[in-house]
Chain A
Amino acid sequence: MAQFFQVLLSGLSTGSIYALAAIGFVLVWQTAQTVNFAQGEFVMLPAFFVLAGVHVLGLPLWAALLLGLAMAIFVLGFLFKRIIVEPMSKTTGLPLIIATMALSILLKESTKQFYAAEAQPFPSLFPQTTFDIAGAVFSIQDGLNLLVSLAVVVALTLFLDRTKIGRSMQATAQNPGVAEILGIDIKRMTLYTFLINATLAALASFLISPIYLAKFSSGESLGLIAFIAAIVGGFNQIRGALAGGLLIGVLDNLTATYVTAQYRAAVPLILLVVIILFRPEGLLGTSEGRKV
C-alpha cells in the first residue's frame, strides 16, 4: 500500500505540471482557434531566462525569477501574439499551426545555439524537506507543485467566470464578431489570453526544471504529453486540462510500477486513442458544433 501511495502522490505532482502546460493549449485554442505546437518550448524557455539572469547577469535567484517571468510574458505572450498570431489571424487555422511548429524549432535551436546543448541544473524553488504519508515519502516540492496547479485552475476559472474582463475574454473566444459589436476590445482581450498563457508556461517551467533539468530539447516530450493531456481532459475546458494532466501523471507511474516499465511511454498514446474513439470531446469537455 505504501508503494501505491508513493507512486500515486508522485504521479499527481508530475501530472500537475503537465496540467499547467496543458491549460496553455486550451487557452490558445479558445482564443485563436489554433493549436500552439510550440507550447512545450514555451515551458522550456523561461528556465533559460532565469539561468541567464543568474549566470550571465549575476542576479540573485528571486530577481532572476522575476526577470524570467517578465521576459516570458514579453516574448512568449506579447511578441508571439504580435509577430505570429496577429498577421495570420485572417487566414484559416493551418498556416498558424505550421507557424507554431516553426516557432518550436526556432526556440529550441536558438536555446541550443546561444545557451547550451547540455542539460543545466536549475535551482529548486522550495525546500527539499520530505515527510511520510502512510509509508510513502512526499516532498514539499511535490505538494507545492500540486497546490500551485490547483490554485491556478481555481483562480483562472474564477477570473474568467466572475470578472468583467474574464467574461469579455470568454465572449471574444466564443464569437469575436458579436463581442466586438457589443463594444469589447477583442484585440486587448486576445492579448490578455496570450499573456496569461505565457505566465502559466513560465510557472510550469520554474516548477518542473528543478526535476527535469533545463535543456533545450525538454519541451519536445513535455509539449506532447501536455497536448495529449489537453485532448484527454477536454480541449475546451480548463478543468479538463487539469484532469488530463493528473490522469496521465498517475497512470504513467502506476503502469511503470505494476504493469511494465519498458512500455510506459505508450500509455498516454493508448489513452489518447481510447478517448478519441469513445469520447472525442474529452473527459470533461463539451461538444462544439461548427457551421460549414
Chain B
Amino acid sequence: MKHLNTFKSMTLALSLIAASSVVAMAEDTVKLPCVCEMSGPGAVSGSNFHDGAAIAVKEINATGGILGKKIEMDTYDTQSDPQVSRALVQKAIDSGAYAILGTVYSGSTMVNMMVAQQAGVPQMTGAEAPGITQKDNNYIFRTAAGSQKGVPALTPYFKDTLKASKVAVAWVNNDFGKGGHDVFLSEMKKAGISVVADVPSEQGQADFAADVSKIKQAGADAVFVYLNEEESARFLKEVKKQGVTAPLVGEVTLTGQKVIDLSDGTAEGALAHVGLATSSPDPKIGEFVQKFKAAYNRDSDHNGIKGYIAVYAIKYATELVGKVDREALTAKLHGLTLDVTKYPGMILTTGWDDKGELSRESFMTQVKGGKQVVIGTVPAN
C-alpha cells in the first residue's frame, strides 16, 4: 500500500512537471532570458549584448512576436562570475526559458552551458573561446565565430603584410585569452614566425608597465594583443608611454569603440580582425548602429550586434519549424544558413554547423581618427 502511494505521488509529481512544461510552452509569451555580464569586468560586453538583444525583442514584439507570441526577456546579471552565471542559467530555465541569451564571457559560458545542455535548452552565446563548440554540446550556438576561426585570419597579415619574423603576444589569462593564445602560437609555428615574448596578464590588471617592458626588450616586429576591453585600454596607454613602435594587432577587442574611448587616443593605428564591425560600410550594420544610438544614446560595440542577431536567429528558426519547441529549434539551427536578403534581422548572412560553430564574413579594422575603420573583408570560412 505504501509502495502504491509512493508510486501515485511520483506519477502525480511527474504529471505536474510535464503539465507545467506544456503550459510554459503554450503561454502567450516566449521567454528568452538574457543571462549577461551586466556588472563586473565583463559589463562592457554583457551590457552591449543585452541592449542589442532588447532592441530586437522590441522590434519583433512590435511586428507580432514569434508565431504570434510576444517575447519576454528577463535580465539576469552574472556579475561576470562563472559560478553566479551557472546558478542564473538554472534560474532562467526554471522560469520557463525557451532559449537562453548569453553569456558573453567564455569562462562563464564554459561553466553554464552544461546546465542548459542538461535541461535541453538552446543557448545563443556571445563567447568566442574555441573549446565552447568542441564539447559535444548540441544546445550551444555562437553569435560570433570562435577564435580558432578568427585568429587564423590574422596569420597572412603578420606574414605577408607586416612581414614579421618575430612577434610578441600579450594575452589575458582567462578562458577567452587562453583559447586565442593557444591558437595564435599554433598559427605562428605553422607560419614559421617566432614568438619572442609571451606575456600573460590577469583579468582586471591595472599596471602593465612590466608587461610592456618585456615586450619592448624582446624587440618584436609586431605585437598580438588579446585582452579584454579595459585591459586593452590600459595596455595601449602603457605602450604609448614606453614608446613601443611595433604594430599592434588584435582580435575582436583591440579596435572596439569602448577601447578607443577608454584609451585616450593611444589606440590610434591599432589593427584588429573582428567578426562584426560596427564601423562597417554595410548598410544593415549602419542601420543597427543608428538604432542602438537612438535607443541608448551611446555607441554599440560588436557585442550589441551579437545580442541583436541572437534573438532574430531564434525567431527565424522557430518560424521555420512552425512551433515553439526547444528540441525542434535546436535541430533546425544545426546546419542552417539564414540569408540576409530573406532574413534581414540577421544583418549579415550567417550559418551554423553541426556543433553550433558560426560562419559569416568578417572584417579587418584599424583605428583612424579615433574611430574603428574597416580596411578589408575576410570571406566566411
Q: Collect the chain B residues with CB atoms within 8 Å of residue A211's CB.
A: 206-207, 234, 237
Check B39 against A253 for contact (C-beta < 8 Å).
no
Say which residue of A7, A121, A212, A261 sits within 8 Å of B200 (CB atoms): A261
Check A261 against B262 for contact (C-beta < 8 Å).
no
Alpha-carbon separation in the docked complex, A119 to B41 (Å): 9
A112, A118, A139, A265: most-surrounded residue (chain B CB, <10 A): A118
Given the contacts A117-B38, A211-B206, A261-B199, A256 and B217 also touching, CB distance less than 8 Å? no
Given the contacts A117-B47, A257-B213, A264-B202, A217 and B207 also touching, CB distance less than 8 Å? no
Least CB distance, B324 to chain A, in whole angstroms: 32
Asked if B137 is an interface residue, CB under 8 A from chain A, the answer is no
Check B207 against A221 for contact (C-beta < 8 Å).
no
Asked if B241 is an interface residue, CB under 8 A from chain A, the answer is yes
Given the contacts A3-B217, A119-B262, A137-B241, A14 and B209 also touching, CB distance less than 8 Å? yes
Asked if B251 is an interface residue, CB under 8 A from chain A, the answer is no
Within 8 A of A (CB), among B209-249: 209-211, 213-214, 216-217, 229-230, 233-234, 237, 240-243
Q: What per-residue 1/0 map shows which CB atoms of A240-260 lie under 8 Å from chain B?
A: 000000000100111011000
Q: Collect the chain B residues with CB atoms within 8 Å of residue A212's CB.
A: 206, 234
Least CB distance, A43 to chain B, in whole angstroms: 12
Say which residue of B39, B213, B261 sits within 8 Å of A117 (CB atoms): B39
Least CB distance, A268 to chain B, in whole angstroms: 12
Alpha-carbon separation in the docked complex, A137 to B239 (Å): 11
Check A6 against B234 for contact (C-beta < 8 Å).
no
Nearest-CB residue, chain A, relative to B40: A217
Least CB distance, B271 to chain A, in whole angstroms: 22
Check B243 against A137 for contact (C-beta < 8 Å).
yes
Asked if B204 is an interface residue, CB under 8 A from chain A, the answer is yes
Nearest-CB residue, chain A, relative to B243: A137
Say which residue of A128, A217, A265 sits within 8 Å of B39 (CB atoms): A217
Check B210 against A257 for contact (C-beta < 8 Å).
yes
Q: Collect the chain A residues with CB atoms within 8 Å of residue B40's CB.
A: 217
A128, A130, A218, A256: most-surrounded residue (chain B CB, <10 A): A256
Least CB distance, A44 to chain B, in whole angstroms: 12
Say which residue of B200, B201, B209 sits within 8 Å of A253 (CB atoms): B209
Check A14 against B200 for contact (C-beta < 8 Å).
no
Within 8 A of B (CB), among A1-37: 3, 6-7, 10-11, 14
Given the contacts A118-B47, A119-B44, A217-B39, A7 and B209 also touching, CB distance less than 8 Å? yes
Q: What per-residue 1/0 map shows which CB atoms of B185-199 lie under 8 Å from chain A?
A: 000000000000001
Within 8 A of A (CB), among B129-148: none
Asked if A174 is an interface residue, CB under 8 A from chain B, the answer is no
Nearest-CB residue, chain A, relative to B79: A217
**Residues of B participating in the A interface, judged by any CB pair closer than 8 Å:** 38-41, 43-44, 47, 173, 199-202, 204, 206-207, 209-211, 213-214, 216-217, 229-230, 233-234, 237, 240-243, 258, 261-264
Question: Can you spell out 6 A-B residue pairs with CB atoms less than 8 angstroms apart?
Answer: A3-B216, A6-B209, A7-B209, A124-B264, A128-B240, A264-B210
Which 10 A-B pairs have CB atoms at the shortest separation, nearest pair first?
A10-B209, A256-B210, A117-B43, A257-B210, A253-B210, A117-B39, A6-B213, A212-B206, A119-B230, A137-B242
